[in-house]
Structure formats: C-alpha cells, structure tokens
Amino acid sequence: MHELAVTESLLQVVLRHANEGGAGKVVSVSVRIGGLSDLVNEWVQRYFDHLSRGTIAEGAVIRIERIPTTFRCDQCGHVFPADPRTREEIRCPLCSSAEMTLATGRECFVQQIEVVNGFGA
Ligand SMILES: [Zn+2]
C-alpha cells in the first residue's frame, strides 16, 4: 500500500468522525496497522501533516500501533503468530499442517480519535 493513498483515506475517516462528534480540533489519531503492511510511520505522519493543512485535524499526532501477523490453521483452527517475510516454511505448531489462512496482518483502521471540543479550548 502507498502511504499517500492510505493517509488520505485515514484523514477522511478522521474528519468525518470529528465532524459528526462536533469536535473543535483533532489532537491525536490512533491507527492500527497490520504487521504485513510496509507503511512507514514517519511518512504517514508527514503526509497527514500535509493533507490536513487547513482542516480541524491539522497538527494532530498520528500514533501507529502494529498488529502482529497471525495465521489460522485450516486443519485444526489454531491461530498462531508467524512472520511470512522470514521466508521460512510456516507450519501449525499444533498439528504441523502447512495449510493456513492469514488471520491478521493486513489491517489498517482508525482505532481512536482524540479531540477537543468547541472554540479555542
Ligand atoms: Zn493445526
């Protein structure tokens, strides 16, 4: 995924929620991103700073939390953490099956938005 496109959609979610809640200003945004995502935290913040200029989200701090990559075994249903980027063969630790489905790792969503209400504050 490309940081700019992702950050644009994040900003839209943030602004929609902030407007619905009658927020005066967005202070920080907590974002959860899957461990398989190659998004660079620093670039998300930079793009956000750029895109949010002139909006109530201007100056907000982006807090990025990584979600560990996990797989669900197709044979026994066991969910376990594994990193496919190590290029080692991944097998279920319970039944040794090599048939599995990605359970988490590609997420990207806004977890929490911290705002201050009204004018000035
Ligand atoms: Zn298994």
Q: Where are the domains of the chain?
A: 1-68+105-121, 69-104
* Cα–Cα nearest to 29, from 9, 2, 54: 9
Three-class SS state of 44: helix
The per-residue pLDDT for 121 is: 46
Q: Determine the distance separating the centroid of ligand 1 and the alpha carbon of 14, expressed in angstroms.
A: 39
Q: 1-68+105-121, which class in CATH?
A: alpha beta
The per-residue pLDDT for 118 is: 63
Specify the pairing of strand 108-117 against strand 23-34. antiparallel
Q: Determine the distance separating the centroid of ligand 1 and the alpha carbon of 4, expressed in angstroms.
A: 38
Distance CA 66, CA 79 (A): 18
Beta strand extents in 19-87 (DSSP E only): 23-34, 61-67, 70-73, 79-81
- Interval 14-50: pLDDT, tens: 999 999 988 899 999 999 999 888 888 999 999 999 9
Q: Determine the distance separating the centroid of ligand 1 and the alpha carbon of 70, expressed in angstroms.
A: 13
The per-residue pLDDT for 21 is: 86
Would you place residue 1 in the very low, low, confident or very high pLDDT band (cuts 50, 70, 90)? Answer: low
- Interval 52-111: pLDDT, tens: 999 999 999 999 999 999 999 999 999 999 988 887 899 999 999 999 999 999 999 999
